[in-house]
Amino acid sequence: MAAYIRFKHQGEVKEVPCKSVLTMGRDRNSDIVLPDLHASRNHAMIRCLGQGDFYLIDGGSSNGSFVNGQRVATPRLLRDGDKIRMGRIELQFHQTTREAVSLDTLSLQDTLISDNPEIRQITILVADIRDFTSLSETVHIRTLTKIMNNWFHQVNDTVFSHGGAVDKFIGDCVFARWESDLDQKKTVFEALAAAVDINRITQALNSSFPELARPIKIGVGINTGAASMGIGHDNTALGDAVNIAFRLESATKLLGTDVVLSETAYQYLPEKYVADRRQHLRVKGKRDPIRISMLEFSEVEEVLKELGQPAVREGTP
């Protein structure tokens, strides 16, 4: 879906198409130059993820970036018509969507058939920063923005390097997926390797920002199952398998562990790593408890090493 930024420059309305990365700032090499001393040289960027999701990412600017009057601390998914302000300059994001089809022109049956989503087997990873609310209350907004945007940038690149794709950034959480129709086992190990790298990225941020009151930690949930792909204008994955992955991540803090895997994921691990770690977990929305297994990040590294899987990609901290 085409997207563009509309703004006024010297009394003239301009439209700049969004691409994979669109930079904005006072620097004259920016895609959109902001002639305003209240704007930073490299103020912000708009980055395309997935199939047409555009996120505004502040670059840790002094005066911040705002969407519809709210300051952006984490990558913000843009919607058609969103108003963006950087310094004293206002811009507007626009994104075209497919035309809505009236039920007067097509039968309900035809509409349902044409909009029928594709069901695919996927492996889902959900990684979340623990106690983010407390973090946001103890760190200056500019520092918080730098930390989060650094984290999201590196996490996105890491997931991609391990064969996956980021489906969504949701607040302080990343939702990534691997299509596993052909080789489910392979995608589980790719997700585990990504989890290890995401933890390394997080640990490196703790070293880079000594002003943090306490170390940033993450929890990871991994599940494999069927999902509906390409739902709505966000082209996201939806379904029970996705919901369970989010529940598994939430359970990491309750269970005092780093990674929680569903049975459909942990079945591919060597028995010695799951034999004493299996248990049942009750999750919201499920009548019966589900079977899970738990691992620490150090144990995930051992699993990957034993199976000859690359635990860390080149360039990861």
* Predicted model pTM: 0.77
3-95, CATH topology level: Tumour Suppressor Smad4 (2.60.200)
C-alpha to C-alpha distance for 207 and 236, rounded to whole angstroms: 34
Residue 138, exposed/middle/buried by CB under 10 A (0-12, 13-18, 19+)? middle
The CA-based diameter of the chain, rounded to the nearest angstrom, is: 69
Please answer whether residues 260 and 153 qualify as being in contact, where contact means their C-beta atoms are separated by less than 8 angstroms. Answer: no
The boundaries of every CATH 3.30.70.1230 domain in the chain are 118-306
Q: How confident is the model at residue 282 (pLDDT cuts 50, 70, 90)?
A: very high
Is the pLDDT assigned to residue 21 strictly greater than 80?
Answer: yes
Q: Express each pLDDT in 83-140 by its tens digit.
A: 999 999 999 999 986 443 333 433 334 433 335 568 889 999 999 999 887 888 888 8
By DSSP bridging, strand 118-129 and strand 279-281 are unpaired
Phi, psi dihedrals of residue 312, rounded to the nearest 5°:
-135, 130
Tell me where in the chain the CATH 2.60.200.20 domain(s) lie.
Answer: 3-95
Q: Please, what is the average pLDDT of the chain?
A: 87
Domain spanning 118-306 has what CATH number? 3.30.70.1230
CA nearest to 66, candidates 33, 95, 98, 43: 43
Ranges 46-50, 64-68, 195-199: which has the least confidence: 46-50
Least confident residue range of 52-61, 137-146, 230-239: 230-239
Question: How many percent of the chain have pLDDT more than 70?
Answer: 88
Q: Which of 151, 147, 143, 149 is nearest to 127 (CA)?
A: 151
pLDDT at 109: 40
Q: Which of 19-23, 75-79, 178-182, 245-249 has the lowest mean pLDDT?
A: 178-182
